[in-house]
Structure 1
Amino acid sequence: MRRIVTWLLATVAVVVLLFGYKTSTGSAAAPATSVAAPAAGSQARSASNGSFTGESTSTEWGDVQVVITVAGGRITDVQVPVYPDGNRRDQQINARALPVLTRETLAAQSADIDMVSGATVTSEGYLGSLQSALDQAGLA
């Protein structure tokens, strides 16, 4: 009886883990590195308006640099002109990771965002450059 209960619990655990696993369904197209901010009615912060280029952050796989556009104290656009793309694997990872990072930045209006699983190195470089741009804009 104990073996049956143990087997049943193990089977349920495996099924739950399998259904919880998120697979990649996107194509390997070039990353969309510019995402416009959704309209929001939150309060504007005291900051400069314009484009602010973060310092290029060196990573294990290449440099990452973020440019933000600020209007009315809000981040309205995020671009990533520099990112690792030296090989097919870098291109695949960043095609998936960069749009997620830019959407998260626009939603959070800060560098307080989650890193993208499987793109840790790019995420770390992105966050470093983003924080530099936010500091320049007075949004830190």
Structure 2
Amino acid sequence: MKRIVLWFLGTASAVVLMFGYHTSTSGPQATPVATGTFTPQPSTSPSSAQPSAGTSTVTGDVAQTQWGPVQVQLTLQSGKITAVSVPQYPNGNHRDAEINEYALPILINETVQAQSAKIDMVSGATVTSDGYIRSLQSALDQAG
């Protein structure tokens, strides 16, 4: 009898824990448009409010990922990437925000250094990295 009671309590506890677990697909991500901007830490962005001659801004296509959209915007000066921003990225919950707070600056700095979409993905942020690279390649294709 004691074994049955223990088995029942263990099973009931497991069921309660499973139904109480919140995944990153639950919550406010029903409307997947999240905005924000990340720029590289070194002073690689133009310092003036007005774009200088030969400076252009190109926005890549929105890359839909399983956690939300990712979009990259490039600032180019004389054909060279001088700044990168990410106006859309998954941040529908605390974990998404935490991952992207870590991953996006790394991806941005690699983009400015590599001057191409041939950059490494960030471990632990594979989905965001994939969306970032797809949007980045779209922006580079538009820039020519």
- The bucket for the TM-score relative to the shorter chain is 0.5 to 0.7
Contact 2:59 2:71 in 1 (8 A): yes
1:90 equivalent to 2:101? Answer no
- Which residue in the other structure is 1:67 paired with? 73
- Which residue in the other structure is 2:38 paired with? 33
After TM superposition, where is structure 1 displaced by more than 6 Å over at least 4 residues in a row? none
Contact 2:65 2:128 in 1 (8 A): yes
Q: Which amino acid aligns with 1:89?
A: R
Cα offset, 1:49, TM superposition = 4.2
Task: Name which one, 1 or 2, has greater alpha-carbon Rg.
Answer: 2
- Which residue in the other structure is 1:19 paired with? none
- TM (norm. structure 2) is 0.65
Residues 21-62 of structure 1 show CA distances to partners (whole Å, capped at 9, x for unaligned) of xxxxxxxxxx86112439xxxxxxxxx740000000000100
1:77 equivalent to 2:69? Answer no
Structure 1 spans left out of the alignment, 5+ residues: 1-30, 39-47
% of aligned pairs identical? Answer: 57
CA RMSD of aligned residues (A): 1.7
Once residues 120 and 68 of structure 2 are traced to their aligned partners in structure 1, the CA distance between those partners, rounded to angstroms, is 21
SS at match of 2:131: helix
- Which residue in the other structure is 1:11 paired with? none
- TM (norm. structure 1) is 0.67
Total equivalences in the alignment: 99
